[in-house]
C-alpha cells in the first residue's frame, strides 16, 4: 500500500494563497523528499511551507512504496514580505511628511514674496512720477 500524508492548507494538485503543512495519518514511519522551484530541500513532517512556488513532496515508506504530492503556493505573506512592506510604508510616510512640510514653508514664503512684489511696484510707481 502506498504511503499517504495529509496536506493541511491545500490538496494534491491544488493552488493556495496560504501556508501548507503536512501530517501523517498513520503510525507507519515515512520519509519525505521535498523540492520546489529552487531545487531539493530538507523537510520534516509538520513544518510549514510559506514561500510562493511549485512544490513536490515524495513520500516513501520502509517498503519503498512512494506517493507524489504536488501543489502550488501562489503567494503568501511571510516575515520578509511583511518587513519589506513595512519599510516601504515608512519611506512613503516620511516622503509625505517631507513634502507637506516643504509645501507649508512655500506658502509662508509666498507671503514674503507678495510683500516684496508690492514694495517693488510702489517703488516703480514712485520712480515714474
E strand spans, 14-128:
15-16, 21-23, 30-36, 39-41, 53-61, 66-73
For residue 8, what is the enclosing H or E element? strand 6-8
> Mean pLDDT across the chain, nearest whole number?
86
pLDDT in tens, 62-106: 999 999 999 999 975 667 778 888 999 999 999 888 888 776 555
Weakest-pLDDT range from 27-31, 68-72, 78-82, 112-116: 112-116
| pLDDT attached to residue 49 | 96
Amino acid at each position: 500500500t502506498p504511503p499517504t500524508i495529509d496536506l493541511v492548507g491545500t490538496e494534491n494538485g491544488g493552488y493556495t494563497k496560504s501556508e501548507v503543512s503536512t501530517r501523517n495519518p498513520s503510525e507507519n514511519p515515512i520519509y519525505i523528499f521535498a523540492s520546489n522551484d529552487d531545487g531539493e530541500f530538507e523537510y520534516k513532517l509538520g513544518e510549514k511551507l510559506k514561500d510562493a512556488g511549485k512544490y513536490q513532496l515524495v513520500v516513501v515508506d520502509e517498503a519503498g512504496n512512494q506517493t507524489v504530492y504536488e501543489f502550488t503556493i501562489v503567494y503568501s505573506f511571510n516575515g520578509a514580505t511583511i518587513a519589506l512592506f513595512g519599510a516601504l510604508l515608512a519611506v512613503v510616510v516620511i516622503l509625505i511628511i517631507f513634502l507637506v512640510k516643504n509645501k507649508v514653508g512655500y506658502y509662508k514664503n509666498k507671503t514674503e514674496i507678495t510683500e516684496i512684489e508690492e514694495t517693488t511696484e510702489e517703488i516703480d510707481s514712485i520712480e515714474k512720477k
